[in-house]
Copies of this chain bind each other. A is one copy, B any other.
Amino acid sequence: MAITAKLLPTLVAGSMLVTSAVIADDGLGDYRNRFEALPHLPPIPADNSLTAEKVELGNMLFFEPRISSSGVISCATCHNPALGWADRIPRAVGHDGQIGERNTPTVLNSGFLESQFWDGREPDLEGQALGPIQAPVEMAMELDMAIKRLVGFELYQEKFSAAYPDQEDPINNDNLAHALASFQRTLNTPNSPFDRYLHGDLNAISEQAKEGMVAFVDNGCIACHRGPALTDSQFHAIQVPGSTDLGRYIVTEEESDKYRFRTPTLRNVAVTYPYMNNGATETLEEAVAIMGQEMLGREFDDDTINSITAFLDTLTGEMPKFEVPALP
């Protein structure tokens, strides 16, 4: 079954992208045109069509702690909907209180990214989904055991069968990954003040935020933070204070990839603190200053930092509707 009426409010109009139909003008059209409003849906891969049944199942699995070895850690533990679908601590805390190497990225709008994880080691959400379940410092679970636990619940047998109606044994790794990816593709935050501004509501953001937008373009931030999710999905070298993380090098073992990380999305950046791959940067102002220094070789003055921060504040969109499921 295709997406039902229930899901439509969050999912429709994915292709409506109106950046040019501005009626009045504030003289900043050339700047506005460098940006793209966030669609309601990211691209859907041909081999994982988005259906209401997969989204519902993925929603359950996202909140399901029994697919961790302790039985108490779910995807939603670190990707906490109360905390911008991230965790607001520097580095993720996982199985037995172990602290990971990196800051938890938000899953919001993650379907718009061209690769997943800080080091881009997976190309898509399907590839990403099974990683944290198995990572010893995260959910620390063997996939076979996760599948076995799911098979033990009649409700999951029903829901997997509904999502994958043509399959005899639908509870398997692939379908687990596909359902989680499908749910995550619905976790988007359109209609931020900045999107409304791009759509022609010239009063949707403050004058200071507009100055920030101009500074963001003029200083070249937009070179990497571009497109609907404000990321180029490319890898750039940055060594932030306190980090010895080799980044993309761990994946490719290419010397030139040392300390490279995928450009993070700036969507909802104001509610997904702290910042940088090691989460060592607490405030947006600090993060803007560090990026100026490290990536652009510039010392931003306070006015510039404050206006860019005001601009970034306009990127917080409407939080997705979801349900805390009744698990079996």
Question: Residue A159 at the B interface, CB < 8 A?
Answer: no
A82 to B88, CA, bound (A): 22
Question: Is A27 at the interface (CB under 8 A from chain B)?
Answer: no
- Asked whether B63 lies within 8 Å of A88 as measured between CB atoms, the reply is no
- Whether B95 and A71, one on each chain, are in contact in the complex, defined by CB atoms closer than 8 angstroms, is no
0 or 1 for each of A271-312: is its CB under 8 Å from B? (1 = yes): 100000000000000000000000000000000000000000
By a CB distance below 8 angstroms, the chain B residues around A96 are: 96-97
A43 on the B face (CB < 8 A):
no
Q: Which residues 56-97 of A sit at the B interface, judged by CB distance below 8 A?
A: 63-66, 70-72, 77-78, 80-83, 87-89, 93, 95-97
Q: CB of A319 within 8 A of chain B?
A: yes
4 closest A-B pairs by CB: A96-B97, A71-B89, A72-B93, A82-B327
A324 within 8 A of B: yes
- Asked whether A2 is an interface residue with its Cβ less than 8 Å from the other chain, the reply is no
Please tell me if A326 contacts chain B, counting CB pairs below 8 Å: yes
Interface residues in chain A, defined as those with a beta carbon under 8 Å from any beta carbon in chain B: 63-66, 70-72, 77-78, 80-83, 87-89, 93, 95-97, 271, 319, 324-327
Output the nearest chain B residue to A140 by Cβ-Cβ distance: B97
**A and B contact pairs by CB, cutoff 8 A, 8 listed:** A70-B97, A72-B77, A72-B93, A82-B324, A82-B326, A83-B327, A95-B97, A319-B326
Contact of A72 among B66, B87, B324, B326 (CB under 8 A): B87
**Distance between A268 CB and nearest chain B CB, rounded to angstroms:** 11
A117 to B212, CA, bound (A): 53
The minimal Cβ–Cβ distance linking A239 to chain B, given in whole angstroms, is 25
Contact A70 B93 (CB under 8 A): yes
Given contacts A71-B93, A87-B71, A93-B70, contact A81 B319 (CB under 8 A): no
Q: How far is the CA of A325 from the CA of B319 in the complex (A)?
A: 11
Which of the listed residues A71, A78, A319 has the most CB atoms from chain B within 10 Å of its own CB? A71
Distance between A95 CB and nearest chain B CB, rounded to angstroms: 6
